[in-house]
Amino acid sequence: MPYTPEYPFRKLDYGETLEVASGIHWVRMPLPFALNHINLWLLKDGDGWTVVDTGYNVQEICDIWGGAISTITGGAPINRSIVTHFHPDHMGLAGWFEENYGTQLWMTYSEWLQAHVAASETVTHNFDRWIEFYRDNGAPENMTVGFKEVRDAFRDPWYRLPETVRRIQDNEEIDIDGRTWQVITGGGHSHEHASLWCPEINVLISGDQILPRISSNISLWYTEPDGDPLRHYFESFVKFRHLPEDVLVLPSHDYPFRGLHGRLDDLLAHHQTRLDAALEFCAKPQTATDVIPSLFSREIGAFEFGFAIGETLAHLNYLVSDGSLERHKDDDGVIRYRRAA
């Protein structure tokens, strides 16, 4: 059956809010990227409120939050932020909430640690290692020269990070306003992304794990060259299969939708097409850079190169781990993938 999502609500303007289920308010916020918006959620929680994801650290977003919060909460406390994963569009303002509203951060431990690793810039700004990783995977000089500038354009994406966390774990049940929300963790897009599922009102806050239109970035970093994030991503789908077909899904990008199971099938088919194309292309030994055009039909410039090669490597490593491809570092120091003998 073709995937045909149902979008029950109209698009909101930035800072506009809408109660999409009882006590659950959708807030649409701008982002300073090509992906220009993110969906955040304010949940009524007894005498106070819980915010799910916080937005990117720019002043404009803090200003919009100020208006939206006073409209929705009427000055009631925001006791808790539940953050789905460490990416700065989600976690960027966790510290701002803590500082201004006394909000306690709840998130999975891997994501909290990963935020502190990323914000320390020991890994994200280790340009020599990133460039070496890309060169080992066949990147030409002109694709690595702009790398430092790209990274430097996005410094300080997190407001001061909270130093303490209330850890949440897979399958944990969280009480919000007398309702039980189940934590569903998943890998692939990040290591321990948390979605929240409330059977009582049939609502899933899916974060970036399941998006209705675009596919989440599934990418390999130099820090984990043998990683298999695409397999972790697929494995997470199993945890969503028992949810009802008509569950209202609240994703971090685009719009709330119904059609979860069709979307899971659609995402699997999307990645399978790319896996098939990569395997076909590796009839002769190829570098990850060589394989990029068989996964991305559009032209990839220096700005997008890191995303494209990271995503390509995730597909290639999946094919290595299932025994379809072999990976060798050749005498010229370059890694090539070829069909398994």
Which residues here bind Zn ion, judged by CB under 5 A? 87, 208
Least Cβ distance, residue 89 to Zn ion (angstroms)? 7
**216 to 16, 160, 337: CA distances (angstroms):** 25, 26, 24
Least Cβ distance, residue 219 to Zn ion (angstroms)? 10
Closer residue to Zn ion, CB minimum distance, 89 or 228 = 89
Inter-helix orientation angle 127-136/302-321, to 10°? 60
Strand partners, 51: 42, 81
What residue is closest to Zn ion based on CB?
87
Two tokens, residue 273? 């097409």
Closer residue to Zn ion, CB minimum distance, 104 or 206 = 206
Closer residue to Zn ion, CB minimum distance, 157 or 285 = 157
Name the strand (E) or helix (H) holding 24.
Answer: strand 24-30
**82 to 32, 64, 184: CA distances (angstroms):** 23, 19, 13
Interatomic CA distance for residues 147 and 280, integer angstroms: 30
Least Cβ distance, residue 215 to Zn ion (angstroms)? 12
Least Cβ distance, residue 75 to Zn ion (angstroms)? 31
Evaluate whether 103 touches 80 at the Cβ level (below 8 Å): yes
Residue 52's contacts (CB-CB under 8 Å, 6 or more residues apart) are 40, 41, 42, 43, 81, 82, 83, 84, 196, 205
Least Cβ distance, residue 286 to Zn ion (angstroms)? 29
Closer residue to Zn ion, CB minimum distance, 193 or 336 = 193
- How far the first Cα of the chain sits from its last, in Å, is 37
Least Cβ distance, residue 308 to Zn ion (angstroms)? 17
Closer residue to Zn ion, CB minimum distance, 44 or 87 = 87
Closer residue to Zn ion, CB minimum distance, 153 or 214 = 214
